[in-house]
């Protein structure tokens, strides 16, 4: 009886150890929304703009390219060029881990977007956002926590401006995102893609 109990405990321990040894290193990347970071709090306290911040871990960073871009839509139509784009890759490190995000701040000169990731950032880019007394706007995270696969585009977040009212949409549903674009005066979609270097 004692031998059987010992065998069962040993088997359970082996299974538990095997499960614990499975780490995030087995996937290309992981990302998790982190709105409570010091960056975001500073933006809120100073009322200088908005920030979407994520904790990002990229495995095989020495063999991959990361592209983050912002698509802009006005009155339901996509503008030809991305509002902002940041691409980087082939790190000297096997794994890269740190903050990743996008922010928007307003000045008397207009609105500016910037993108940042671990050890790299994009110079702020001016964008033309319609201005009106009846416009209401918001930034929203499109995902909370996600395992990212190679060669697949992910929607990280959304900025939208509408006249008089704001409907609620499921940002993980492509049809609802398309409906949101049609219903809004101005929309920014923050997207991301990881690709393996073929060189």
Q: What is the pLDDT of residues 99-148, one digit of tens each?
A: 999 999 888 888 899 999 988 998 999 998 877 677 888 999 999 999 99
Query: Is residue 61 pLDDT above 80, yes or no?
Result: yes
The pLDDT of residue 25 is 58
Task: Evaluate whether residue 13 is within a structural domain.
Answer: no
Domain range holding 157? 25-196
For range 36-53, the mean pLDDT:
81
Given a cut of 50, is residue 5 above it in pLDDT?
no
Q: 181 in a domain, yes or no?
A: yes
37 occurs within a structural domain: yes
pLDDT of residue 145: 92
Question: Does residue 176 sit within a domain?
Answer: yes
Does residue 46 belong to any structural domain of this protein? yes
Q: Which long-range contacts (CB under 8 A, 24 or more apart) does 102-107 make?
A: 102/51, 102/52, 102/68, 102/70, 102/156, 102/157, 102/190, 103/39, 103/43, 103/49, 103/50, 103/51, 103/52, 104/49, 104/50, 104/51, 104/139, 104/159, 105/43, 105/48, 105/49, 106/48, 106/49
Q: With respect to residue 1, please indicate whether it lies within any of the assigned structural domains.
A: no
64 part of a folded domain? yes
Percent of the chain surpassing pLDDT 90 = 60
Is residue 139 domain-resident?
Answer: yes
11 pLDDT more than 60: no
The domain tally of the chain equals 1
pLDDT at site 45: 80
């Amino acid at each position: 009886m004692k031998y059987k109990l010992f065998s069962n405990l040993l088997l359970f321990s082996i299974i538990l150890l095997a499960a614990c040894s499975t780490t995030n290193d087995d996937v290309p990347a992981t990302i998790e929304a982190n709105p409570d970071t010091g960056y975001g709090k500073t933006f809120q306290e100073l009322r200088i703009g908005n920030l979407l911040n994520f904790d990002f871990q990229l495995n095989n960073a020495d063999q991959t390219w990361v592209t983050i871009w912002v698509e802009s839509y006005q009155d339901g139509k996509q503008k030809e060029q991305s509002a902002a784009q940041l691409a980087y890759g082939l790190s000297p490190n096997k794994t890269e881990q740190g903050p990743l995000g996008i922010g928007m701040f307003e000045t008397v000169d207009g609105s500016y977007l910037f993108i940042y990731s671990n050890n790299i950032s994009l110079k702020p880019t001016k964008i033309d956002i319609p201005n009106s007394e009846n416009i209401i706007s918001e930034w929203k995270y499109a995902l909370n926590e996600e395992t990212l696969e190679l060669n697949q585009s992910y929607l990280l977040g959304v900025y939208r401006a509408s006249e008089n009212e704001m409907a609620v949409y499921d940002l993980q549903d492509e049809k609802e995102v398309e409906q949101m674009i049609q219903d809004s005066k101005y929309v920014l979609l923050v997207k991301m893609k990881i690709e393996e270097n073929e060189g």
